[in-house]
Amino acid sequence: MVRSRSILAAGALLLAASLGLTACGDSGSGDEGADAKTLTLWHYEGPTSAMGVAWAKAIELFKASHPGVEVKFEGKGFEQIQQNAGMILNSDSAPDILEYNKGNATAGLLSKQGLLTDLTEESEKRGWDKKLSPSLQTTTKYDGDGIMGSGKTFGVPNYGEYVMVYYNKDLFTKHKVAVPTTLAEFESAMDTFVKAGVTPLSVGGAEYPAQQIFYELALAKADRAFVDDYQLYKNKVNFQGPELTFGAQTFADWVKKGYIAKNSAGIKAEDMGVAFTQGKFPIMISGSWWYGRFASEIKNFPWGTFLFPGNTLHPGSSGNLWVVPTKSKAKKLAYDFIDITMRPEVQNLLGNNGGVPVAADAAAITDPKNKELIDNFAKISSSDGLAFYPDWPAPGYYDVMVGGVQGLINGSKTPQQMLDEVAKPYQDNLTDLGR
């Protein structure tokens, strides 16, 4: 009984503490919290990742320029924020500023529910909009239905991401393969590997990587209008049209020709990356999020990257956004913090740690590898070449895409059947939206 009594006491204490907290929270709103003395800040990047390092620096700079303000930083799990953001931001436990996922189903949904602060005015006043290219801005703006691309600005990204081709330089030299510049060259390079008994592509078919290859192939025949139709619902998309048909057909051909192993349908993204790290495959097509990790973990061979040959459009987007909850008690401080993250010193730090900054000074990036990564991003971004990701247009579309592409890998579906299968949830979503 002694134990349970002390627990009761602890419970009562907790109750008192939570009441006390909410009591303080109610005062001081209304003037954007200019006189707030704490800034509660959440993000879910690892402490050693490019973002983690850069944001730690930003917090330092913020403390220096805001003496007397306490920064309460909490590192969160992606899962917790992803699943519960709606509930958390609607409660008194909401932070003052947090990192949140971009996209219709996440930031769009919360903006529609009125849980996020409209940043349009701040963004213009402080010039954040001028630092972001148009395709980066797509994911920061959401309309009244929570659909990205137009409307008010609800978030600010610090970094970008895009899909590229990673290659093992040793294996390329060993098999006398040159870096391809067209799709035809790319395919003949892969033929060389197949003839030598090497499966060229490390693919994770159980998760996002395979659908990004399919989308990359569809983009080979696509233009910006197709991307706008597919992602922003500007016009109806014909799933049997030339773009997606080429994507599905070529993907199926790649499996048939042995570029993609049959067993990769069950491989996870993590295992795909580890297999490439171990030098088991010469090529891996995936996103810039691997870059920092490869830089520190690939020790046994030199590696490099190139953009998917022949494409002007690539899967990619802005990174996650800084958003300010409507319930934030220190909005002014939150804006100041976002402003600091856009400063060159923070952006350059992000770039020098293997991230893709949105507003870095290219001359300040010292590492040649990171420079290559950032230059390639600048190339895509400045030519308006970010085409977002194939699973974005509809809620739950990720699993549909995984299933569809898995069907192509293990041969249980023809390209035609696969496209019909993925078309249905897409159209259903349009109907739900009334478009």
Partner 1 sequence: MTALATAPEKQAAPAQAGVNRRRYPARFVVLIVLLILLLIVVAPLLVVALNAVKSPSDYASNGPLSIPKSLHWDGIVDFWQRVDFSRKLLNSFITSAAVSVLAVILSVLNAYALGIGRVRGRVWFLVFFLVANLLPQEVLVYPLYYLSKSLHLYDSLLSIIIIFTVIQSAFGTYLLSSVYAEFPTELLDAAAVDGAGRFRTLWRVVVPVSKPTLAVLFTFFFIWTWNEFFLPLVFLVANAHQTVPVALGVLQGEKQMDATTTSASALIGILPAILFFLLFQRTLTRGITAGAIK
Interface ranges with partner 1 (CB under 8 A): 3-4, 7, 10-11, 14-15, 17-19, 22, 44-47, 49, 74-80, 83-84, 87-88, 91-93, 101, 208, 269-270, 274, 277-278, 287, 289-290, 293, 296-300, 320
Q: How far is CA 38 from CA 69, 167, 280, 293, in A?
A: 5, 47, 50, 34
Toward partner 1, which CB reaches closer, 7 or 184? Answer: 7
**Rounded Cα distance, 136 and 292, in Å:** 21
Shortest Å distance, C-beta 419 to partner 1: 26
**Rounded Cα distance, 389 and 250, in Å:** 18
Toward partner 1, which CB reaches closer, 69 or 298? Answer: 298
Shortest Å distance, C-beta 264 to partner 1: 16
Tell me, what DSSP letter sits at residue 163? E
**Rounded Cα distance, 51 and 161, in Å:** 12
Count how many Cα atoms sit within 13 Å of the Cα of residue 359 in the half-sphere of its side chain: 21
Toward partner 1, which CB reaches closer, 44 or 230? Answer: 44
Helix, strand, coil content of the chain in percent (nearest 5): 50, 15, 35
Tell me, what DSSP letter sits at residue 254? H
Toward partner 1, which CB reaches closer, 80 or 173? Answer: 80
Shortest Å distance, C-beta 299 to partner 1: 6
**Rounded Cα distance, 176 and 103, in Å:** 42
Shortest Å distance, C-beta 198 to partner 1: 19
Toward partner 1, which CB reaches closer, 121 or 297? Answer: 297
Q: Residue 242 corresponds to which amino acid? A: P
Q: How far is CA 406 from CA 36, 339, 397, 414, in A?
A: 52, 43, 14, 11
| DSSP secondary structure of 174-225 | HTT-PPP-SHHHHHHHHHHHHHTT---EE--TTSHHHHHHHHHHHHTT--HH
Toward partner 1, which CB reaches closer, 142 or 290? Answer: 290
Shortest Å distance, C-beta 83 to partner 1: 7
Toward partner 1, which CB reaches closer, 101 or 353? Answer: 101
Shortest Å distance, C-beta 151 to partner 1: 25
Shortest Å distance, C-beta 195 to partner 1: 27
- SS3 label, residue 299: coil
